[in-house]
Amino acid sequence: MGTDAETGTGGPTAPGGRDGRRKSTVKKRLKWIAISVVGVLLILAGSAYGYIRYLNGKLHHTQITADKNNRPPASPKDAQGRSPMNILLIGNDSRIGEGRRYGAEGHEGLADVAILMHLSADRSNATLVNIPRDTMVDIPRCEIGKGKDKKVTEARFGQFNDSFRSIGAPCTVATVDRMLQVRIDHYIEVNFKGVRDLTDAVGGVPICLDAPIHDPVLSGQRGGTGLDLPAGPNTLSGNDALQFLRARHAFGDGSDLARIEAQKVFLASLARELKSNAKLTNVDGMFRIANSAVGALTVDNDLAGVDKLIDLADEIKKVPEKRMAFTTLPTETYRPAPDQVQPRRPAADNLWAAIRADRPLTTGDPATDPPPAPVTETPAPPQTIAPSDAAQIRVTVDSGSAGKRITPVVDALKRLGFKATSGSPMPDGREHANSRITYPDGRQEQAKAIAVALNLPETALEAARAGETTIRLLIGADLPDAGTGGSGAPTGSASAGPERVPEPPRAADLNLETADDTKCASPRRK
């Protein structure tokens, strides 16, 4: 499929959003589909080149990020020159054109799930982190396309799945770039309608239920799928499979968390069916499966090719199942809006830091080659700001948390020679995860000088919206209380040297699980 010169769109994506309650738990559902979809393509390599070319034409693809001018650095290579890999897996639940067959009609699309998959440099382990869709985060300014096709959304603070609205996966990638502060290498978006087709292609997916399911469509409300299944073993295909994936109130306690656990059961079973079908000698059946698999995917431009998906599948397969750690970003209730959550500190920060440092969350048998300690390039000499130069730079300091941190940071900047003034507390009344320095046209270098002085990475810099004339610093949780890391003097960029993990993630915070387990779904008991 052809690509637009700027966006490289090889097929449509249907962005959107949904409110919902999401708590810390193990969520590996999308990982199973991502691995299964690319894994089934392995059977086609070498013996069906013409068909692979046909599949390449069906593969949807687009640019990886909607904030390409503010990308963080790539993960550093290890001592043997091997690179970690960060892949964002996105589940898109669109029901346009389906009427009420699967619940509320006209739903454009949902970033229904997002999982960051981190593959270690030596491929001895992997960490998969579910990012709850209703987590309140800083979403950067996003832009894709040119001319009449150009789409722009301004920087804002909102629910994580709002990053998918209007612009789609490239803005979600930009948001995770900012959260992780390490570059996302690839993304894979899975459409649940494609999963339905894939389920049909394998002849149905067996699941077990420890109670019946009855999920009637709720008239006039956004809810209910019409799913009706007996207790015991079931084989799902077609509409039943899609209804099972979408049912929100049919499992456990009726929460979204319970639905996620049921989806995990379904997708793990689908993965096993795909693996079993891949061993068959029925070439027509294998082609049908591959065709459905490709139809379920949208990927970034650098992953747009069946051969590249095969390479990625090979990399993922190197990781033993017992060394694949599944977890969820630690969160807590967001007090201004209790239906949302926010990252829970320091647990969330420790998890991101462990991923940046390429540190495994699992224990067990070591890899064939012992994992070497990550290394970074020799840091540049510390940059300093002459007082005379700093005196020419004006900055206004804003903060959440009722503005309690504004005065200490203003004082610290003044000691460093900057002309700093106090701004206003942010309307949401909370401390943001990451500090942000916005700058008007022509003042990017001055903003960089402030970032260097405060030990903030360049990813904290962001162009201000049109009409702004002032450099503004929004204080985040990543900025030390003194504003200078306690040194009282400017130093090099915080991203220049190796990162120190403040504290290893605690098992109690992560609720880890590995990939080698199965279980039955538990419907809601009336």
Task: Determine the pLDDT at residue 395.
Answer: 93
pLDDT digits (tens, 9 = 90+) for 260-271: 677 767 776 776
| Range of weakest confidence among 4-13, 130-139, 357-366 | 4-13
- Rounded CA separation 422/309 (Å): 51
Residue 134 in contact with residue 21, Cβ under 8 Å? yes
β-bridge pairing 513-514 and 324-328: antiparallel
Instruction: Tell me the torsion sign for CA atoms 303, 175, 347, 503.
Output: positive
pTM of the predicted model as reported, rounded to 2 decimal places: 0.63
Q: Please determine, for residue 500, whether its predicted confidence score (pLDDT) is greater than 80.
A: no
At residue 498, the pLDDT reads 37
In this prediction, residue 222 carries a pLDDT of 59
The pLDDT score that the predictor gives to residue 481 is: 53
Spatial separation of the C-alpha atoms in residues 241 and 196, rounded to whole Å: 6
Tokens 């309690």 locate to 404
Spatial distance between the Cα atoms of 358 and 370, rounded to a whole number of angstroms: 14
**Tell me: the pLDDT tens digits for 367-402?**
444 444 443 433 444 444 555 577 789 999 988 665
Rg (CA), the chain: 24
Backbone angles phi, psi at 352, to 5 degrees: -60, -40
Identify the three-state secondary structure at position 10: coil
Average pLDDT, the chain: 73
| 366 pLDDT tier (thresholds 50, 70, 90) | very low
Say what the pLDDT of residue 85 is. 95
Residue 96 · residue 341 · CB < 8 Å: no
- State which amino acid sits at residue 201: A
Which tens digits make up the pLDDT trace of 129-145? 888 888 999 999 999 88
Domain-wise residue ranges, the chain: 29-373, 387-475
Match 């130069």 to its residue by tokens.
389
DSSP letter at 480 equals: -
Q: What are phi and psi of 103, to 5 degrees?
A: 120, -150
Res 323: pLDDT: 81
Q: Which two tokens stand for residue 289?
A: 């499966």
Return the CATH superfamily for domain 29-373: LCP protein (3.40.630.190)
At residue 35 the predicted structure's pLDDT band, cuts being 50, 70 and 90, is low
Each as own residue / partner, the long-range contacts of residues 94-97 (CB below 8 Å, 24 or more positions apart, any chain) are 94/14, 94/16, 94/191, 94/192, 94/193, 95/193, 95/246, 96/14
pLDDT of residue 276: 65
- The residue assigned the tokens 């941190």 is 405
Q: Which pLDDT does position 408 carry in this prediction?
A: 86
Cβ atoms 271, 32 nearer than 8 A: yes
Strand partners, 130: 115, 328
Cα angle 401-404-405, degrees, rounded to a multiple of 5: 100
| Topology (CATH) of 387-475 | Alpha-Beta Plaits (3.30.70)
Whether residue 346 is preceded by a cis peptide bond, meaning omega within 30 degrees of 0, is: yes
Q: Residue 360: helix, strand or coil by DSSP?
A: coil
Exposure string of 123-159, with b = 16+ CB inside 10 Å and e = fewer, is bbbbbbbbbbbbbbbbbbbbbbbeeeeebebebebbb
Shortest CA distance to 355 belongs to which of 117, 144, 523, 134?
A: 117
* Nearest CA among 405, 412, 401 for reference residue 491: 412
Q: How do residues 263-320 score in pLDDT, each as one tens digit?
A: 767 776 776 776 666 554 455 666 677 777 777 788 999 988 878 887 887 788 788 7
Instruction: Examine domains 29-373 and 387-475 and report if their fold is the same.
Output: no
215-226 pLDDT per residue, tens: 887 765 556 778
60 strand-pairing partners: 298
Closest listed residue to residue 155, CA positions, set 142, 146, 144: 142
Give the SS3 label for residue 300. strand
In the prediction, which pLDDT does 7 show?
Answer: 41
How do residues 436-493 score in pLDDT, each as one tens digit? Answer: 899 998 899 899 999 888 877 776 788 888 788 899 998 887 776 544 443 333 333 3
- Phi, psi for residue 123 in degrees, rounded to 5: 60, 25
Euclidean distance between CA atoms 145 and 47, whole angstroms: 38
CA distance 197 to 203: 10
3-state secondary structure of 453: helix
